Structure 1
Amino acid sequence: MHALLSLDPAPPVGLASPREHIRQVALQMFVELGFHAVSLRQLAGAVGMQAGSLYNHIESKDALLFELIEAYESDLCQALPSGSAVERDPLKALNTFIRTHVTFTDAQRQRWLLARLEYRCLAPAHQAPILALRDQVAARLAYILKAGIEQHRFARVSVSAMVPCMLAMLNEISSWHSPGSTLSLGASIGLHTQMIHAVLQPQSTPPEQPMSPNLEQAASTGPR
Structure 2
Amino acid sequence: MNGLETSLAELTALGKKLKDEPIDEADIMICPPSTLIARAHDMLAGTAIALGGQDCHAAESGAHTGDISAEMLADAGADAVIVGHSERRADHGETDALIAEKAAAAHRAGLVAIICVGETEQERRDGITLAIIGKQLEGSLPDDIDAEDTVIAYEPVWAIGTGLTPTPEDVAEVHRFIRGHLTEKLGESGESVRILYGGSVKPSNAAELLAVPDVNGALVGGASLKADDFYGILATYGKNS
| TM-score category (smaller protein) | under 0.3
State the TM-score, normalized to the length of structure 1: 0.26
- Whose RCO is larger (CA < 8 A, sep 6+)? 1
**Greater share of strand:** 2
**Greater share of helix:** 1
